């Protein structure tokens, strides 16, 4: 091989190395929360996270839920009783990262003792959030704010103030706030939560609505979810004084796969594809669902709601749709 050929080979090698680094960097730059479906290790028969990743193609997983441990103070623990370190949850995080992916840790949820209600000061609540962030060197956290944390103005005020402090102390940390919604968008309490956050100049990475369990019957869950997202964007645009397009880029959706808690509601794969398509058009900051545990067909009927979706589907069908979402 002559000098010119060797020089050409060397140049091409450098180019391919740089291209590979650019592609890897581009993949790493995808926000953890962008496409990370929920898995709840304290519920049903959860699939091993490594299996979820290998079979569905998702890059990241949202693990739920961190609550307040029983007793005095406001110590964070998985489901309120499993330790942060040395248990199955820490092992799951290690397995996710061993696969080259990452984890978003979710606080709160439907039941249990919420840190925002138990911690009686902003500083104590901020310290509890920080303890979890430090335990796993997290790049993303999610606050699934429901019940007393959501309805009680003092509790939700503590949550917002504590998250604002966490944001200042952890530059670059992704923070999502996830809440219920009406079919037309956030209800009065949800709208107040957004307004209260804007009033203290707190702007999380993404505001996420959960468009299910509406109460009144909803037969078309795809379009019902889209209407809820339109209402969320309007609320964000008004509270933060931004355009609708910018509001969508700080909005997110967390659906429920298959049959929901309401007998009249079923989120089909077609519905979820419609939601994902809407998310892509408007560059939503988050597309997720509850939950991976349910992302498989039921072996029999009736079956536990925590173990399957209740509809005909392939295993990890919903997760695979999320895996294809890149904003």
Read off the pLDDT of residues 103-150 as tens digits, 9 standing for 90 and up: 999 999 999 999 999 999 999 999 999 999 999 999 999 999 999 999
pTM metric for this prediction: 0.91
pLDDT of residue 18: 35
Residues of the chain falling short of pLDDT 50: 1, 3-27
Structure token digits, residue 173: 């940390």
Give all domains of the chain, ordered by start, each with its CATH number: 32-323 (3.20.20.80)
Compute the C-alpha angle 257/305/64, nearest 5°.
70
pLDDT of residue 2: 53
The tally of CA atoms less than 13 A away on the side-chain side of residue 58 is 34
pLDDT in tens, 276-325: 999 999 999 999 999 999 999 998 776 668 899 999 999 999 999 999 99
The answer to whether the CB of 281 falls within 8 A of the CB of 287 is: no
pLDDT of residue 303: 64
pLDDT of residue 22: 37
**Which residue blocks in 171-326 are alpha helix, DSSP H?**
188-199, 221-240, 244-248, 269-282, 317-323
pLDDT of residue 7: 43
Residue spans of beta strands (DSSP E) within the chain = 38-40, 60-68, 76-78, 102-108, 140-144, 174-180, 206-210, 251-256, 258-259, 266-267, 286-290
Q: Which residues form the catalytic set?
A: 146
């Amino acid at each position: 091989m002559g000098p010119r050929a060797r020089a050409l080979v060397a140049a091409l090698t450098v180019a391919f190395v740089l291209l590979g680094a650019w592609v890897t960097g581009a993949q790493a730059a995808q926000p953890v929360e962008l496409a990370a479906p929920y898995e709840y290790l304290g519920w049903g028969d959860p699939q091993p996270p490594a299996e979820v990743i290998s079979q569905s193609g998702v890059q990241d997983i949202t693990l739920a839920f961190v609550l307040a441990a029983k007793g005095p103070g406001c110590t964070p623990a998985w489901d309120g009783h499993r330790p942060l370190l040395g248990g199955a949850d820490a092992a799951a995080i290690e397995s996710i990262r061993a696969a080259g992916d990452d984890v978003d840790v979710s606080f709160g949820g439907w039941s249990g003792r919420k840190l925002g209600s138990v911690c009686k000061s902003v500083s104590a609540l901020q310290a509890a959030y920080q303890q979890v962030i430090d335990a796993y060197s997290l790049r993303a956290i999610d606050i699934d704010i429901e019940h007393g944390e959501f309805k009680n103005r003092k509790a939700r005020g503590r949550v917002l103030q504590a998250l604002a402090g966490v944001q200042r102390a952890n530059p670059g940390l992704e923070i999502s706030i996830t809440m219920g919604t009406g079919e037309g968008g956030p209800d009065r309490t949800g709208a107040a939560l957004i307004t209260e956050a804007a009033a203290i100049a707190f702007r999380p990475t993404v505001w996420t609505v959960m468009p299910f369990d509406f109460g009144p019957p909803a037969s078309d869950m795809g379009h019902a979810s889209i209407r809820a997202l339109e209402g969320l964007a309007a609320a964000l645009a008004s509270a933060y004084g931004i355009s609708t397009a910018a509001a969508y880029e700080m909005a997110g959706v967390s659906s429920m796969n298959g049959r929901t808690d309401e007998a009249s509601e079923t989120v089909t794969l077609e519905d979820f594809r419609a939601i994902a398509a809407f998310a892509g058009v408007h560059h939503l900051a988050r597309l997720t669902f509850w939950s991976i545990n349910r992302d498989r067909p039921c072996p029999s009927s009736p079956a536990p709601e925590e173990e399957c979706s209740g509809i005909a589907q392939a295993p990890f069908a919903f997760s695979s749709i999320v895996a294809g979402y890149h904003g």
